[in-house]
Amino acid sequence: MDVVLGIIGGSGLYDLPGLEGTWETIESPWGEPSDSVLRGTLAGTPIVFMPRHGRGHRLGPTQINYRANIDVLKRAGVTDLVSLSACGSLREDLPPGTFVIVDQFIDRTFAREKSFFGTGCVAHVSMAHPVSRDLGDRIEAAAEVSGVKSRRGGTYLAMEGPQFSSLAESHLYRAWGADVIGMTNMPEAKLAREAEISYATVAMVTDFDSWHPDHGEVDIQQIIATMNANGDAARALVQALAVATPPTREVCSAGSDTALEFAIITSPDARDPALVAKLDAVAGRVLHRTAP
C-alpha cells in the first residue's frame, strides 16, 4: 500500500505553506468534520492536511467531531497520521518550546463519542501501545534534521476542557506520572486505531501547567506567543518528515494496520446493517471479508 501522510494541525497550525494541493470537501456518515482537507504533495510525499479546530479556530475541544475527522482522513487514503497539538507541561525539564513525541495517553475526557462501534456491531481494539514506533522514529529523525528541540517518549493526559486545570488537578496529574496535558488527542488516537491508521503525536509545549510555582496561572497571551513560534517549528518538522517518509507503508510495529483483524465480536447475522454501512471506510477491509 502506498503511504499517504495525514497531518492534523492543532491550535496555531491551520495551514501548511509549501503543500501544493487543493482543499477538498469529503462527506462522512458520522457528521460534519472540522473542515475540508487540503490534499497535495510535499517533497514528493502525498499529504492530507486537516485543521483540527477548523480554519479560524471555530471549534473547541469538546465540539470537534473526532469520528468524522478520522473517517474523512481514512476516506482520503491516509495510512500514517501525525497529530500536532499544543499542550501544557507537567515537568520542569519540558519547558515551553519543547516538542514531545508522545508514546502513551491517559484519557480523562468524558463528553465525546469514543468509538465507531457500538450496539449492532461491537469491536474491541488494543490500545496498549497507541503510537506507531516506526512513525515516531521518523518524527524523531525529522525533528533532529529540522533543528526542533524534542524529547522522545512521554505520557499525554487528555482532559475535557475547555478550562485549564485547577492547581489540585495539575498536582494530581503530575503524581500519576503524566508529562504533558492537552485537550484533543483523545479520542482521536483511539479512533485512528479503530480505523487501522498508524498514529503519532507531537505535543508542542506552550506553557507550564498551573502546578509550576514560578508561573502560577496559565497566561493565555504567553501561550499564543509560544504557539506561534511552535507553529513555525512544526512546519519545518513536517517538511523534514515528508522527505523521510517511505513511498510504501511498512508493517506497523504497534499493529495499527491490522487492529480490526480479530476485534469485531458481533456475529455477521446479528450486525446492524445501518451501522455496518457507516463503517464502510473505517472497517470495510474486515466487514466485507466476513459478511455472510
Q: Is 207 annotated as a binding residue?
A: yes
Q: Is 85 annotated as a binding residue?
A: yes
Burial 57-68 (b: 16+ CB within 10 A, else e): eebebeebbbbb
Distance CA 161, CA 277 (A): 33
Q: Is 204 annotated as a binding residue?
A: no
Distance CA 95, CA 174 (A): 15
Q: Is 52 annotated as a binding residue?
A: yes
Exactly one of 107, 134, 207, 257 is catalytic; name it. Answer: 207
Quick check: bond before 268 cis, omega within 30?
Answer: no
Exactly one of 103, 209, 257, 269 is catalytic; name it. Answer: 209
| Closest by CA position to 188, among listed 174, 176, 203 | 203
Distances from the Cα of 111 to the Cα of 65, 116, 161, 218, angstroms: 11, 15, 10, 23
Q: Is 209 annotated as a binding residue?
A: yes
- Whether 232 is a known active-site residue: answer no
Q: Is 126 annotated as a binding residue?
A: no
Q: Is 219 annotated as a binding residue?
A: no
Q: Which residues contact 226 (CB under 8 A, 6 or more apart)?
A: 96, 97, 205, 206, 207
Q: Is 11 annotated as a binding residue?
A: yes
Q: Which residues contact 16 (CB under 8 A, 6 or more apart)?
A: 7, 9, 38, 42, 47, 49, 235, 238
Q: Is 53 annotated as a binding residue?
A: yes
Question: How buried is 236 (Cβ within 10 angstroms: 0-12 exposed, 13-18 middle, 19+ buried)?
Answer: middle
Q: Is 289 annotated as a binding residue?
A: no
Show which residues are catalytic.
207, 209
Binding-site residue numbers for phosphate are 11, 52-53, 85-86, 184
Q: Which residues are annotated as a binding site?
A: 11, 52-53, 85-86, 183-184, 207-209
- Binding positions for substrate are 183, 207-209
